[in-house]
Structure 1
């Protein structure tokens, strides 16, 4: 295209914009300062109350390297640095600040709010786990939070404490130009897997975004960011179905975006951002920044004079320990801009230390009592705990599985591997520390659907691992499911007479091979570990982010005296 045609095109666009402004009731003054805009969107998502830094296993040049990563004090430090350095910064949190560690279990959202308030946010989007403890607990968190809270598809009536707490969108000004930020929360999962009250409605995510973009366009706004707790795949689909969207900053799927092969980390996509097209064939930039306070995203965006994306680029910065002495890591960090050595923010550390000391004391808190030792055999009669010889195997594993089952709103039954339980439970007072010795791993509870046929195959795999590969930790226990086990049979023929508890009648019924069941289990075997290979083939797993040890603590607190499950509810009906 020659320069003459470029000038005609530019004048035509200006004339069209003025015409639209007049039709929509806007004065031409709204667009008289049309000019390009540069901004950097600084963002995190799904930090899930991961307050402390954590250890992570890396692989650099085929050498195993353990590194310290993340922690909210590093998030504060990195975001504050980026806000000072970047042009027209916009700072966003795409939801699921809460649930996942003892900080939340003990203090609810108090610690997260205090640390988040060390950052100047433009907006915080609600995630599904914000609703895990109901409207009132979420309201307490949001009252303490010094930012605008978004979710355009979450509609709260006046009977909820959340009434008027949540906004559909926010309009911000950068370089004298308006930018609209529209929030959406994942509707189905929040409604059915979390605990919002009946006074909270969840609208369709795409319809909500469309509604507010159309509404805001009439105000002369032509730059739109969707702050989404909807998952990366859904965000890509959303972009294709929306006119006018420019940027989607996401969460929920915990997606690591960018290339991290140099440290042995597998990302969801090598692209940061993903660049796609909207329904009106305009460029859309989609970004997300992993999980657990490990990373901060920095998306550099250039809008042209008409509010369309000209280009976008950037990195998800992984935040490593400022004091690391690991030469391998330091050498690698120097070569790659997406790896950062970050000093922890002192104000954040001060807050964390005060709560950490309280948390240490909390571990000694008595949460329950049991009159009699509750035994643990991995396999019936194996005396793994040095005390018990149990005809039907573990007493404690089914009790733990019951806690998982009761924690869920949806589960048909729970599965727990024998190796995930480290001992029996001694008689007397039970402390939080006792539970974490019993269940010491960093597991969360995972939900997903399986057919009856797949459940049978799963159990056969577990018992094959137990008896064919001598992996006693794979022995399968559960709650609200029971079966006969014959160790002398061949692979694929060891499990029979599987029954599932009917919640309505409280009676066991034969499993139906073609029926879909909702299973809840720990994240370790949900990843296919310990012989539970069938779990790997299951799609659409939902991580509840309930800590599996604290789920047992919550169960203990409801019981005046902890006792093993009755024989009728024990998963092992018979064992040969």
Structure 2
């Protein structure tokens, strides 16, 4: 896609998000803002090729090559960009059945993903199958609430990672959905699910107090929202502090722009999810001023 076309589409899709600490964009000529761009996907489910042009729901949409073109255009626009995924990379196309996830990880590495969390379908070839593909992934796998101590993944998945872009410290951590009743025990073996709210609280405290992070991002495979009390991204936001952005997955929710909701202290949190199958690319732009103020805008970009 030509850069001019991309910018027009991005501007058309962009939505000013929030107020207060994540407020409406307002700039002063006396301040020098630092600009951080977050790009994200979720639930791509091994969809490497675009959908057929006669597909009833997503005609001609998606595809890794197109996504890569968009990502590269945005990186040229702003080198201070992170590319993240919220899980369920595997399962959904013959590529996974034949290659077992190798191709998905190699292509994500070519696109220079920075980090991903683990979705329930990423266990579909078992925890051993997932571990066997990790050498093909040149990016971080993050999960704060899956304890892999007695499994083959012990030491290969970290709770969080701190990225530094233009001297801005960005803490990214992962959360996964409860596997019991959703995934066969034989597939995830001794993986222990821990309470996501408790683990998020502990992890964010480390990111803010020990790691001195300016931005905190959660990669969540919990699901956007539920009618019952099941923990979701929206509930997580309301029960925690100091998370700036929750990038969600699992429920395949198509959001035209990030949802702005309140955290435990009444401050704003952005929650976003961009459907599934790679038909959209999420984009969040943060603007930080020297006094610690944050502004943001969000866009969902059609691939």
> Secondary structure of the residue that 1:135 maps to in structure 2?
helix
Quote the residue 1:423 is aligned against. none
Secondary structure of residue in 2 paired with 1:54 = coil
Matches within 5 A, 1:54-93: 54-55=51-52, 67-86=59-78, 88-93=80-85
CA contact (8 A) 2:34 2:288 kept: yes
For residues 66 and 145 of structure 1, what CA distance do their matches in structure 2 show? 28
Match of 2:136? 144
CA distance in 1 between partners of 2:291 and 2:262 (Å): 17
Aligned counterpart for 1:293 among listed residues 268, 278, 281: 278
Per-residue CA deviations over 1:153-191 (Å, capped at 9, x if unaligned) read 01112x4211111110000111112111011111x2x23
- Structure 1 residue 168 and structure 2 residue 159: aligned? yes
TM-score, with length taken from structure 1:
0.44
| Equivalent in the alignment of 2:222 | 230
Q: Kindly tell me: are residues 273 and 65 of structure 1, through their superposed partners in 2, closer, same or farther at Cα, counting changes over 3 Å? A: closer
Take 1:304 and 1:147, find their aligned partners in 2: how far apart are those partners?
29
Distance 2:289 2:299 in 1: 22
Structure 2 residues not aligned, in runs of 5+? 1-30, 226-231
Higher relative contact order (CA 8 A, sep 6+): 2
Q: Equivalents in 2 of 1:206, 1:281: separation in Å?
A: 17
Question: What secondary structure does 2:65 align onto?
Answer: helix
Aligned to 1:29: none
Distance 1:138 1:180 in 2: 25
SS of the counterpart of 2:87? Answer: coil
* 1:67 CA drift (Å): 3.5
Report matched runs for 1:449-488 at 5 Å: none
* Contact 1:239/1:279 (8 A) holds in 2: yes
Distance 1:280 1:65 in 2: 40
Distance 1:101 1:315, change over 3 A: same
Larger Rg: 1
Would you say the 8 A contact 2:54–2:60 is kept in 1? no
- 1:193 is paired with a residue whose SS is coil
Measured in 1, the distance between the counterparts of 2:292 and 2:252 equals: 29
How far apart, in 1, do the equivalents of 2:97 and 2:57 lie?
Answer: 31
Candidates 180, 185, 210, aligned match of 1:191: 180
1:207 aligned to which of 193, 198, 209: 198
What's 2:35 paired with? 38
Within the candidate set 155, 164, 177, 2:168 is matched to 177
Deviation (angstroms), 1:57: 6.4
Q: Residue 202 of structure 2 aligns to a residue in which SS?
A: helix
Q: Deviations over 1:428-471 (max 9, x none)?
A: xxxxxxxxxxxxxxxxxxxxxxxxxxxxxxxxxxxxxxxxxxxx
Question: Please, what is the CA RMSD of the aligned residues?
Answer: 2.2
* Contact 2:207/2:216, CA 8 A, preserved across alignment: no
Aligned partners of 1:212, 1:98: CA distance in 2, in Å? 27
Counterpart CA distance in 1 for 2:199 and 2:299 is 29
SS in 2 for 1:120: coil
Query: Would the aligned equivalents of 2:151 and 2:190 in 1 still touch at CA under 8 Å?
Result: yes
Shift of 1:253: 1.3
Contact (CA 8 Å) 1:222, 1:244: kept in 2 or not?
no
CA distance change for structure 1 residues 65 and 108 in 2, over 3 Å: closer, same or farther? closer
- The TM-score normalised by the length of structure 2 is 0.81
In 2, Cα distance between the equivalents of 1:65 and 1:138? 30
Q: Cα offset for 1:65?
A: 10
**SS across alignment from 1:171:** strand
Deviation at 1:133, TM superposition (A): 1.9
Instruction: State the Cα distance separating 1:221 from its structure 2 match.
Output: 2.5
- Number of positions where the alignment pairs a residue of Structure 1 with one of Structure 2: 264
Task: Flag the structure with higher helix content.
Answer: 1
Could you tell me which residue of structure 1 aligns to residue 23 of structure 2?
none
Compared CA separation, residues 136 and 294, structure 1 to 2 (3 A): same
User: Judging changes above 3 Å, is the alpha-carbon distance between structure 1 residues 303 and 104 closer, same or farther for their aligned structure 2 residues?
Assistant: same
How far apart, in 1, do the equivalents of 2:111 and 2:250 lie?
Answer: 21
Instruction: Provide the C-alpha distance between the structure 2 equivalents of 1:65 and 1:107, rounded to a whole number of angstroms.
Output: 27
Match of 2:66, SS?
helix
CA distance in 1, matches of 2:58, 2:151: 46
